[in-house]
Structure 1
Amino acid sequence: MLAVNYTNLRDNMKTYMDKVTDDYETMIVLRKNNKNVVMISEESYNNLMENIYVMGNKENYDWLMKGKAQLENGQYSVHELSEAEDNE
């Protein structure tokens, strides 16, 4: 996680924004009176929102955790995929 003051961010905006987007860095912009701001990429934000949505539903969360436990315990099978026909 990066931390940068507002003046430094303003003077080097492109560099910091590239770090956030290209390197998936989270950046804290330090401001007066502890009114800090966190900067993340749009991709990271969308991923975060999706995780909040998926994990926010208890039934869905339980189903995912059950599947995860099955995978970790070797309770899975491998299947060949078949291609769909053009009219499907």
Structure 2
Amino acid sequence: MLAVNYTTLRENMKTYMDKITDDYETVIVTRKDNKNVVMLSEEAYNNIMENIHVLGNKSNYDWLMESKAQLENGMASAHELSEAETDE
């Protein structure tokens, strides 16, 4: 996570945007009166929103936590995948 003041960001906008999108950085833009702003990539934002949606549903959350507990308790197994035949 990077922190930069507004003036420095404005003078180097492309550089910071490239760091955000290419290096998956989060940038905190510091401003007067502690009215800071956080910049992140659209990909990171969409990921956060998807997690909020999935974990915001109690039945989804419970199912994920049950699956996690099964994995942690060794109740998981690996299987070979086979290709499906296609009709042409």
Q: Which runs of 5+ in 2 are unaligned?
A: none
Shift of residue 5, structure 1, vs aligned partner: 0.6
Matched residue count: 88
TM-score, normalised via structure 2 length: 0.91
User: What corresponds to 1:22 in structure 2?
Assistant: 22
Shift of residue 13, structure 1, vs aligned partner: 0.6
1:33 partner SS: helix
Structure 1 residue 31 corresponds to structure 2 residue 31: yes
User: What corresponds to 2:61 in structure 1?
Assistant: 61
Question: Post-superposition, which runs of at least 4 consecutive aligned residues in structure 1 deviate over 3 A?
Answer: none
Shift of residue 39, structure 1, vs aligned partner: 0.1
> In structure 2, how many angstroms separate the alpha carbons of the residues matched to 1:78 and 1:36?
46
Q: Which runs of 5+ in 1 are unaligned?
A: none
User: What corresponds to 1:46 in structure 2?
Assistant: 46
> In structure 2, how many angstroms separate the alpha carbons of the residues matched to 1:7 and 1:17?
15
> In structure 1, how many angstroms separate the alpha carbons of the residues matched to 2:43 and 2:65?
24
Superposition RMSD on alpha carbons, in Å?
1.4
2:4 partner SS: strand
